[in-house]
């Protein structure tokens, strides 16, 4: 490949600094001319083009991988700063940093979705470790992740730490109820094999969440089991029921699967394995039932869409990981941009909220 010819030399070729499609001085996307130019002397301008000027190593040249990075935020800034009449930049342009953007902390490693948590500490540069570290040092108010739930819980416990007296954190999510309110499902997947003592604490954490976030003054908790009668369930459920009856939180007793969305209780207590199955079963059943009703023409599709949105993961954003010294929200692994945005809203609302205050009044297990 010669200096004057070829694909990527310094003086010519498609991506060169002095010519070609993405060059700094000419071509379609150049900084001084062409269709998408940001120059004051020609081009359509950033308000109409795909590009706007972005500081990069002291020059206006944009590497090809920059396409799409910060595009929406930077384009908005350009739209507000570009004068269509004079086609000139304001005196303060360009800014020293991209406007209205969040600071970025580099995290070079990635934890695989198949990771259950044990391998997390081996990747100190992962976004989970970096984010939880920022939260632990007080450099962040909350942490949101759509990664592996097991890895998030493991890193959060290790780096952020459990609140005083908490045996194990639990995921809590508010499910819309038939009564018009919501019921807190806890645990929704953080601890698959808890002890009865942990489940008794889940009830207190869930009650604190219902009180602080949902505004329920005196939450009622129910234990998810295979029957509503006392003593029903496996050994874990039976022992957890005994402990729950001695807790300071109001305990309704056992509830069954058909009570999950009825609003019979404010807090639904279960182990993480069952809770995660219940959560995804609710989402799937609602989606399937509404689709069948729509196909049968029994209801207005617009009305059905409103019901579907109430149970859509994009609506609730994510589940709060309760029982930590900081705010952590776990979003669904298949989250899209709207879901992550909603999870950030949930994290903002939870930041600084204490839901573990009731643990101090809980009696020691016999």
3-class SS of residue 128? helix
pLDDT value, residue 302: 83
**Distance, CA of 150 to CA of 250 (rounded, Å):** 30
Which of 181, 199, 182 is CA-nearest to residue 190?
199
Range scoring the smallest mean pLDDT among 146-150, 227-231, 234-238, 257-261? 146-150
pLDDT value, residue 28: 41
Q: What is the pLDDT of residues 321-360, one digit of tens each?
A: 999 999 999 998 878 888 898 899 889 888 888 887 667 5
Q: Cβ(24)–Cβ(30) under 8 Å?
A: yes
3-class SS of residue 330? strand
Structural domains in the chain, CATH included, are 1-101 (no CATH), 162-361 (3.40.718.10)
Structure confidence at residue 97 as a pLDDT band (50, 70, 90): low
Q: Cβ(87)–Cβ(40) under 8 Å?
A: yes
Strands across the sheet containing 318-322 = 142-145, 327-331, 318-322, 170-176, 182-186, 267-269, 220-224, 250-255
pLDDT value, residue 62: 39
């Amino acid at each position: 490949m010669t200096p004057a010819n070829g694909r990527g030399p310094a003086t010519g070729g498609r991506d060169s600094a002095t010519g070609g499609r993405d060059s700094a001085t000419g071509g379609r996307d150049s900084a001084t001319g062409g269709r998408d130019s940001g120059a004051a002397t020609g081009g359509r301008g950033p308000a109409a083009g795909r590009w706007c000027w972005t500081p990069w190593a002291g020059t206006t040249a944009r590497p090809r991988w920059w396409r799409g990075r910060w595009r929406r935020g930077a384009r908005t800034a350009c739209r507000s700063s570009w004068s269509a009449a004079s086609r000139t930049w304001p005196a303060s342009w360009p800014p020293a940093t991209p406007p209205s953007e969040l600071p970025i902390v580099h995290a070079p490693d990635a934890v695989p979705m198949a990771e259950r948590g044990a391998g997390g500490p081996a990747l100190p540069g992962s976004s989970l470790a970096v984010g939880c570290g920022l939260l632990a040092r007080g450099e962040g108010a909350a942490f949101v992740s759509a990664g592996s739930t097991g890895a998030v819980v493991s890193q959060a416990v290790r780096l952020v730490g459990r609140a005083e007296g908490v045996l194990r954190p639990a995921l809590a999510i508010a499910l819309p109820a038939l009564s018009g309110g919501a019921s807190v499902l806890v645990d929704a997947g953080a601890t698959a094999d808890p002890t009865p003592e942990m489940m008794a604490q889940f009830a207190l954490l869930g009650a604190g969440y219902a009180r602080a976030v949902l505004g329920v003054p005196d939450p009622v908790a129910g234990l998810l089991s295979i029957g509503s009668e006392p003593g029903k369930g496996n050994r874990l459920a039976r022992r957890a029921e005994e402990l729950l009856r001695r807790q300071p939180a109001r305990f309704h007793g056992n509830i069954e699967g058909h009570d999950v969305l009825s609003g019979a209780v404010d807090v639904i207590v279960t182990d993480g394995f069952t809770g995660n199955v219940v959560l995804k079963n609710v989402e799937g059943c609602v989606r399937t039932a509404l689709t069948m009703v729509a196909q049968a023409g029994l209801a207005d599709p617009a009305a059905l869409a409103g019901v579907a949105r109430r149970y859509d993961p994009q609506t609730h954003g994510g589940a709060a990981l309760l029982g930590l010294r900081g705010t952590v929200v776990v979003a669904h692994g298949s989250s899209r941009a709207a879901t992550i945005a909603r999870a950030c809203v949930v994290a903002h609302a939870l930041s600084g909220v204490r839901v573990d205050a009731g643990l101090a009044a809980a009696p020691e297990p016999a």
